[in-house]
Every structure is written in C-alpha cells, then in structure tokens.
Structure 1
Amino acid sequence: MPDFKLLGPMEMVDDRGQPHIPVGPKVRQVLALLALNAGKVVDVDLFIRELWSVNEPKDAVKTLQTHIYHLRRILLRMGPAGAQLVATRAPGYLLRADPGRVDALVFPRLVELATGHHRAGDHQAADLVLRKALSMWSGPPLADVPRGAVLGPRATALDEQRLRAVEMHLETRIRLGLHGELIDELRVLVATYPLNENFHTQLITALGRAGRRADAWRAYEGLRALLEAELGVEPAFDIQNLHLTAPMGSHSGKDV
C-alpha cells in the first residue's frame, strides 16, 4: 500500500520507498481528489466540478475516464496490486487506500490529539505530537497540483490548519520554558504574517520572559503602528497589557 503525500509537492511512495509522481496536471487533480477522500466514493460530478469549473467539455465523463485510465497505469508501476487501488463505484470512483497513509488526512488527526494534550496541560505530549504533525509538511499543500473549485478551498483549509498548529506549537514551547529559542523563529513569522496578532503576542511574550523588556516594547509598538496603518485599529486589549506585564527573565544582557 503506497503512502500519498499532499502536504507539499504531490508524491506517492511505494513499499520500497520509491517515489512516483503523476505527470499530467489533470491526473494529479484526480489523484488528489481521490486521496483526500480515501476509502470513500467520489462522485463523477465532483470530479467534473474540480477539473472544469468553467468551460466543461461535452465529453467530460469520457475525458475523466481517460484520466482514471492513466492514473491506473501509473499505480500499476508500483506493483501488481496498484491497478486495483482505484475502483469504479457508482456514482464515481474510490481510492482503496487507508486514510492513515494520506498525510493530509493524518495531519488534522494529530493536531486534534495535540489540542487535547494542550488543553489538559500536558505540554510535553502536545509538543511531541505537534513536532510529528508539522514535520509532515514539505511546502504549500498540493504545491504542484492545479486547484479547481474543490481542491482550492481544501488546500486553503489545510494551510489554515497548519498555521493554527504552528501557533499552538509555539505556545506549547513557551509554556515549556523554551521562549529563548523561539525569538528568531517568531521574528520570521511576524515578518511573513504581519497581521497575525498571535505571532506578535508570542514574540512579545518570548522577549519579555527572556528579560528583553525594551525589545518587547519595540515589538509591541511595531504591531500598534502596523495595525493602525493597515486596519485603523489598536492591538487587542490583552496584547496592550502584555508588553507591560510580561515577566522578567534571568537574562541580564543588553537588549539588541
């Protein structure tokens, strides 16, 4: 049974560890839709909606059958049982794969598990699970797959789940006392996602706990100026208090 990787460039990995990459963009779309619904029948109409959101060809069903044929040929190269992975099941097609072999289906389950640990105060367990979950990513979801009306929203949702997982992982590591190790990473995240107040909050917290109160103040002032310029609003009330109440750490060096 192959592994299906969608959290980055698409890839199928056989039992020997050899990667297999579908060439045709439409075949990649078909495979992505099947993999994201592993073990479930995907309706022909859903394929058509994804492949041809506009300008649906008159022979759309026949063209879809051709893409399924090419996908089966690719799967056959992975072993004799490969051609049986895609089954015809009314009203569409089914990928006979364990959802546990599809990274985009495993990731949300791991995040849910980590959330439970986090809420229970078991931050060490949450950290371990989130490390495993985030290590599954090698790039944007479905990075080399064209995204139509179905895959587009699904990819966006996966990316949003990843960001929430990153936020939770940073919060977990701060609670574990690893704030000093996170400052550089948080500065990059703040620069990459400037309107994400959670990353700003975590940066201010990490700086404060590292004893860098002047830097925490500057980080807050940077956020305040950004929000005023971009959105015409002030930082949330808890952030306004944070840069004043963040605990001092043992660091006695000069702020940089």
Structure 2
Amino acid sequence: MTDDGSVAAVSAPKMQILLAALLIRAGHVVSRDELSNEIWGSAPPRRATASLHVHMSQLRKILTRPGRPGSPIATAAPGYVLRLAPGELDLHRFQCLLRDGRRAARAGNHERAVELLGAARSLHRGAVLDGAAAGPIVGGCARWAEEARIESAELLVASGIALGRYQEMTGVLRALLAAHPLHEAFYRQLILCMSRSGRRAEALRAYHCARDTIRRELGLEPSWELRELQRTILRADGAARDMQLAG
C-alpha cells in the first residue's frame, strides 16, 4: 500500500520470496547468500548474484513511495536491509499483542487477555506467506506464525472460559476445530465449555467425535487429559443420577 492509497502488487514469485524474507527480518541485514538460499536452495544458478541484483532493483522500484526519496530497501554489507517505521508491519503488531495477551492471561487479567488476543487474531487474513517457498527464513516464519496463531486461540478461549463465557467460546471452538480437526486442546476446551454449561450429553458426543477422528486419521487413542475429562463428566453424571434416586 502506497501513501496515496493505491496498491502495488508483487506478482513475480522470486520477488515475493525476497520481499517476504526482508519483511520477516525487517530492520536487520539479510545477506545475499541467505536470500539466494531462499530462492534457489542449495543449487543456485551460475549467475545467481546478478539475478538477485536484478530482482532487488525491481523490488526497490515497486516499493518506492510517492513524495519520498529512495526505497525502504537499502544495501548494507553483506546484503540488504528493509527499514520500516514502528508498528508498520502486522507481524510485529501480532507479536506484541500475543506477548501482552499471554502476560495478561498468566496474571489472571482475563478481560484484558481476551481483548489483546482477539486483536491479535484479527490480524490474521488466511495462511501466513501462503504460496511462498519454504526456505529457512520464509518457511520458518510461516511455521512459527501458525503455531503462534494456535497458541493465541488457545489462550483466548482459556481466558473466555475463566470468565464463564461458555456459549461464546463454544462457537469459537467449533470454527477452530473445523480448521484444525486434530488439535486435541481445542476438543478439551470444547468439551469443558459444554460440560460447564450443563450440556453433558453434547460434551460426551464431542469426546466420541474427537476419539473417532484421532483414531481414523492418526491411528492413536486420545490423550490422557482428554480421556480423564470424559471420565470426570461420566462420574459427575453418575453422581447426579444417584442423588435423583436417593431423593
């Protein structure tokens, strides 16, 4: 996005990789060897250095902003550095929100945690770096981002549960499980929400769904934590029936 509101698209795959690598390492020098490895891996072409220079020149032209001299990409031995203003990159804002949300959750400030983690999750707009090559910089960031996205969801739901927002979190968890059907932590949280809101039969059905999915897809049994949660619900259900009979 340029200063006049227009959009400058980077469509060439190699330039996309270069831009992604520079954005991930924004403010730090990325060497030519690292950038070459991102694009070509361990088998660069004979004229890789010259080709890298051409791609970088084209990328600089695209990123040059109207009314501002030069490009945010600077040459700095032994490679290049992309300079951004603080808060200009969603990735950095997400990292800060996740860090502060994690701290708030650990401190028991769950209202604040839900606010911060909800803001962090709102920055996600699909798979991170989707379609980019899986070099050490870009691929590593994509894997970290997906893990961080899952962590932010788990923390947000845990704080929502602590606040007693069982119905709201049930809807959030159903959407999460549609995207991550093998993530057991989301099943545990869903079963807990259902159980605490008095929907024990639904909670047990959710457990059986989790067990069947895990068995079918992974050939494994559910974790001890998930099985223990099922047993806790069954014991509570049995105790409730005993009280009714005694009454």
* Same fold, judged at TM 0.5 (above): yes
Q: Bigger radius of gyration, 1 or 2?
A: 2
- Report the TM-score when normalising by structure 2: 0.86
Match of 1:36 among 2, 24, 35: 24
Q: How does 1:72-111 map to 2 (within 5 A)?
A: 72-76=60-64, 78-81=65-68, 83-98=70-85, 100-111=87-98
Name the count of aligned residue pairs: 235
Identity rate, percent: 35
Q: Which SS does the other structure have where 2:30 is aligned?
A: strand
Q: Distance in 2 between matches of 1:43 and 1:125?
A: 40
Q: How does 1:93-172 map to 2 (within 5 A)?
A: 93-98=80-85, 100-172=87-159
For the pair 1:27 / 2:15, whether they are aligned, the reply is: yes
- Structure with greater helix percent: 2
Q: Structure 1 residues 132, 16: CA separation in 2 closer, same or farther (over 3 Å shift)?
A: farther
- RMSD in angstroms over aligned alpha carbons? 2.1
Matched with 1:188 is 175
- In structure 2, stretches of 5+ residues that fail to align are 238-247
- Residue by residue over 1:112-159, the C-alpha shift from the partner in whole angstroms, topping out at 9 and shown as x without a partner, is 111000000000111111111111111100125344343122211111
Shift of 1:176: 1.6
- In structure 1, stretches of 5+ residues that fail to align are 1-12, 249-256
Matched with 1:174 is 161
Q: Distance in 2 between matches of 1:163 and 1:54?
A: 32
| Contact in 2 for aligned 1:38/1:99 (Cα 8 Å) | no
- Report the TM-score when normalising by structure 1: 0.83
Q: Distance in 2 between matches of 1:188 and 1:244?
A: 25
* Higher relative contact order, chain-length normalized (CA < 8 Å, sep 6+): 1
